[in-house]
């Protein structure tokens, strides 16, 4: 029995754990507070391990990201039921200045500004558009895998992605024009 568990664990670690960074990045877009994203990924990995025996030839990355998305929905429902509003994490260092100077501070500052602007514009998109855009452009999933993660038809993925790209471009250009 111990050999079987060891084999399952070894296969799980080899197939699923390489996608942990993707799961965390996706969780950060779903739940921007680092603590919430950590909890989502932890829940997802536990659920993935429990259901690993049932995985048969599926795209492991898409399977794991689907679990992350489902954990997010579960957490949202629980939060809504309790009517709690999460406070910002003290450990969230996203807005703290870096302690190490870069070789070209001006270029780094411009790049950081562009990244923050893109994050703000992405946050303005409807969730369904933002999710499909993140899964395609950040996580590099193909359309079929995105359809699997979001549990929508392939055509829906393509139309949402098209609308998301257009909205992102328009909002980003609009923001640049007013800056």
pLDDT at 162: 93
- What are the residues whose beta carbons fall under 8 Å from the beta carbon of 50, sequence distance 6 or more? none
Instruction: Round to whole Å and give the CA distance between 130 and 160.
Output: 9
Look at residue 47 in the predicted model and tell me its pLDDT.
92
CA distance 64 to 28: 15
Q: Are 132 and 69 in contact (CB under 8 A)?
A: no
Best CATH choice for the domain 104-179 from the list 2.60.40.10, 3.40.50.10860, 3.40.50.720, 1.10.10.10: 1.10.10.10
pLDDT in tens, the chain (179 residues): 667 778 888 988 999 999 999 999 999 988 877 788 899 999 999 999 998 888 877 789 999 999 999 888 888 777 666 554 455 555 555 544 444 545 667 777 777 777 777 778 888 889 899 999 889 988 889 999 999 999 999 999 999 999 999 988 888 788 777 76
CB-CB neighbours of 150 under 10 Å: 19
Identify the pLDDT of residue 79. Answer: 66
DSSP letters, 69-94, are: HHHHHHHHHHHHHHT--PPPPTT--T
The domain ranges of the chain are: 1-84, 104-179
CATH class for the region spanning 1-84? mainly alpha
């Amino acid at each position: 029995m111990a050999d079987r568990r060891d084999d399952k664990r070894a296969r799980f670690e080899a197939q699923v754990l390489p996608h942990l960074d993707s799961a965390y990045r996706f969780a950060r877009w779903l739940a921007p507070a680092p603590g919430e994203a950590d909890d989502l990924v932890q829940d997802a990995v536990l659920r993935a391990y429990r259901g690993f025996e049932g995985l048969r030839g599926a795209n492991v990355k898409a399977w794991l990201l689907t679990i992350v998305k489902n954990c997010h929905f579960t957490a949202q429902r629980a939060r809504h039921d309790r009517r709690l509003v999460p406070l910002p994490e003290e450990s969230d260092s996203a807005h703290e200045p870096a302690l190490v100077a870069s070789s070209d501070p001006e270029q780094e500052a411009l790049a950081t500004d562009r990244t923050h602007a893109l994050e703000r514009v992405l946050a303005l998109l409807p969730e369904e558009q933002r999710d499909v855009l993140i899964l395609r452009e950040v996580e590099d999933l193909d359309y079929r895998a995105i359809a699997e993660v979001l549990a929508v038809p392939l055509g829906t993925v393509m139309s949402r992605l098209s609308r998301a790209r257009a909205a992102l471009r328009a909002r980003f250009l609009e923001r640049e024009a007013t800056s």
